[in-house]
Amino acid sequence: MLLKPLRGGRFGLGIFSPSTIIDARMNYLNELNEKQQEAVLATEGPLLVLAGAGSGKTKTITHRIVHLIHAGVAPRNILAVTFTNKAAKEMRERAMDLIRRFPGSARSLDDGSVLVTTFHSLGVRILREFHEAAGLRRHFTIYDRADSVRAIKAALEATGYDPKEFEPRKILSMISRAKGDALSRDDFADSAASYPERVAAEVWERYEERLRDDHALDFDDLLLKTLRLLQSNPAVRQTLQDRWRYIHIDEYQDTNRVQYEIARILAGERRNICVVGDIDQSIYSWRGADIKNVLQFEKHFPQAQTILLEENYRSTKTIIEASNKVIEKNKNRVPKTVFTQNDTGEKITLFAGFSGAHEAEYVAMSAKKLIETGAAASDIAVLFRTNFQSRALEEAFLNMDVPYQVLGVKFFERKEVKDVLSYLRLALNPGSTADLARVINMPARGIGPSTVLKILEGKRDELKSAVLNKVEAFDTMMMDIADSARTEKLSQTLKFIIGRTGIEMHLKKNGTEEDLERLENLRELVSLATRYDEMGPEEAVEALLEDAALQSDQDEIKDKEEKDAVRLMTVHAAKGLEFPYVFITGLEEGLFPHQRLDEKGIDEEEERRLFYVALTRAGKKLWLTYAHSRVIYGSSGVNLPSSFLSDIDETLLEIDGAAKGRGQERRGGLLDDWDDDLPTISL
């Protein structure tokens, strides 16, 4: 058979013989278990598929699509929506492969193609097709986040507010969250309870003016404008409801209010909507995801059918039992018990290091042993709760010559780290123009590009007095930093830079998830610097800068040349991925679960769901690690093991004591204050 991929996330059907079709109809359902078959065959009316981790949800969706085609549904009448381009690509390829092996009904030949896409791509498609009805140009511009931040900054200034007082990213975050909740600017303004929210409402108006002037939409507009179009234009609404008669929504637990409303409207009176998700893997509330969309599906779509996919094909019985024990402690969920017919597998290894560095060394050494015994490096994943943890891990993997790849930005390549190192370099090398240009207005202190250019050109005498005063204040600050760099321990100098430059106040004031992550990375930089404190001050600065440069270069080479490499990533980044071998690190109270539970309103149940996601990434073998002490912001303290660990039955664990045979100290095993539910290990 000929399969013809088409543009725009579609795939089409080629020509095949009726005899092939008959054979296909007899065989393709045999690839599914009983519950998967039930979901595939339930084609009419609303359907909620609660799919446990590793239960084959993508397989189920793709088979359902092919089954609809076999039943005579025109491919062009089928829509499948997910959240990422990667997920859409995978679903599209698997559906295409299935169609190759099991060609569909002759009645579907030459009758369009299935659309598999993301929510945002769907919004772009609809708005471009119906641009006149939406009041848009056909070729409107799409603002990325950087464009939006710049536009918000301009809107702040135009409204009379100081961008240094009201951080543009924070204002944008408030507007974005409101758009995701399907609120208009007026709705948001009416409900604004705080002064920053009232400022955001006022700035929003100017921001929209800027978008209109540029004939642009931001990411949130792609969905909100689509929803408004569907709500206000009956002709467009009917056209799309008739076009997509069978709708599939993947990762439904991650949908926000706007995405739910779009799906509900497109389903229309036919209500042929199939949503697939897992409440236990809902980890994006901070992005606006609303778990109630799953919990209230049967209320939103009366007479909906619910099917549980509970058989896991990924993990061993040991890993599944442990993950079940963890997640069953959550109350806000639909009860289900994931099971597997896989082997029992190895016990979960629990390791406690003396320190964060010791923990990292253990992980790197364990990964190296796996590779030496025949495992592919790319089959190994190391997961952590927050980005700063990657620094010690990167160093350990480099020292042991274990190929690795960081998913995300490597520690010394992170903006905030590079900013502080630039201040450090500039303090001892005032002639470094690149460092000067990088930090002279970071954080913003009213020194613009034209001023910087004049400084670099040696034209300070041309500066106006107000600007010159700002530049001289910067010079004074740099002299203070230089004095510290020449006389104080390196860790103290870095603390001084972070405070004296205003970086710490800037990040704390913004208070966004991203900014707090940046602050944690800077604290990790200070912790790293303590190892250089025994050197002379200037020697320590040179050693740190050299080490940072060399590690960055080496990491870059590894990223380009080492395709078979251990993956280092946050748990959030690991969502949707799977690996035979997984290490979950930093399992300490205050780190995982995170200490910002109270101060940032992070849901404890969501933290537990995040741990569940981490556990269920593993197929063959799982390691859980923590450190008795971890240096954070230059200070070391004793850590309590994560409370989540006490949820795992002791019979599923094996203890890899870090200090076995090294005296009477109870280090490297379990602490004396370990939860009573777990055994006490004597070393």
| Position 144, amino acid | D
Residues 6+ apart with CB under 8 A from 11: 3, 4, 5, 92, 95, 96, 99, 113, 114, 116
Catalytic residue among 250, 395, 520, 606: 250
Catalytic residue among 58, 226, 616, 625: 58
Query: What 3 state SS string does 239-257 have?
Result: HHHHHCCEEEECCHHHCCH
Catalytic residue among 35, 57, 179, 608: 57
Q: CA 673 to CA 641: how far, in whole Å?
A: 9
Beta-ladder partners of 655:
350
Query: Annotated catalytic, 504?
Result: no
Peptide bond into 443 cis (omega under 30): yes
Helix/strand/coil percent split, the chain, to 5: 55, 15, 30
Query: Annotated catalytic, 603?
Result: no
Query: Annotated catalytic, 187?
Result: no
Beta-ladder partners of 48:
275, 306
How many C-beta neighbours within 10 Å does residue 262 have? 27
Q: Where are the beta strands (DSSP E) in 182-260?
A: 216-217, 246-249
What would the two tokens of residue 443 be? 């954080």
Q: Where are the beta strands (DSSP E) in 284-323?
A: 305-309
H-run or E-run covering 629: strand 629-632
What's the Cα-to-Cα distance from 36 to each of 46, 50, 334, 456, 667, rounded to whole Å?
A: 16, 11, 18, 67, 48
Catalytic residue among 253, 255, 259, 281: 281
98: region left, alpha or beta (phi > 0 left; psi from -120 to 50 alpha): alpha
Query: Annotated catalytic, 239?
Result: no
H-run or E-run covering 78: strand 78-82
Q: CA 316 to CA 124: how far, in whole Å?
A: 42
Q: Please give the angle made by the CA atoms of 13, 16 and 20, to the nearest 5 degrees.
A: 120
Query: What 3 state SS string does 325-385 have?
Result: HHHCCCCCCCCCCCECCCCCCCCEEEEEECCHHHHHHHHHHHHHHHHHCCCCHHHEEEEEC
Q: Alpha-carbon dihedral of residues 608, 609, 615, 617, nearest 10 degrees?
A: -160
Q: Where are the beta strands (DSSP E) in 93-166?
A: 114-118, 141-142
3-state secondary structure of 27: helix
Query: Annotated catalytic, 212?
Result: no
> Which burial class, exposed, middle or buried, applies to 200 when counting CB atoms under 10 A from its CB (0-12, 13-18, 19+)?
buried
| Position 216, amino acid | A
Q: CA 493 to CA 529: how far, in whole Å?
A: 9
H-run or E-run covering 195: helix 195-213
Instruction: Identify whether the C-beta of residue 634 lies closer than 8 Å to the C-beta of residue 591.
Output: no
Catalytic residue among 35, 558, 617, 620: 617
CA atoms within 13 A on the CB side of 533: 15
Catalytic residue among 251, 261, 379, 515: 251
| Position 389, amino acid | Q
Pairing label, strands 566-570, 404-406: parallel
Pairing label, strands 348-353, 216-217: unpaired
3-state secondary structure of 197: helix
Query: Annotated catalytic, 58?
Result: yes
Q: CA 165 to CA 617: how far, in whole Å?
A: 42
Instruction: Identify whether the C-beta of residue 41 lies closer than 8 Å to the C-beta of residue 28.
Output: no
Q: What is the largest distance, in Å, between two alpha-carbon atoms of the chain? A: 87
Active site residues: 57-58, 250-251, 281, 617
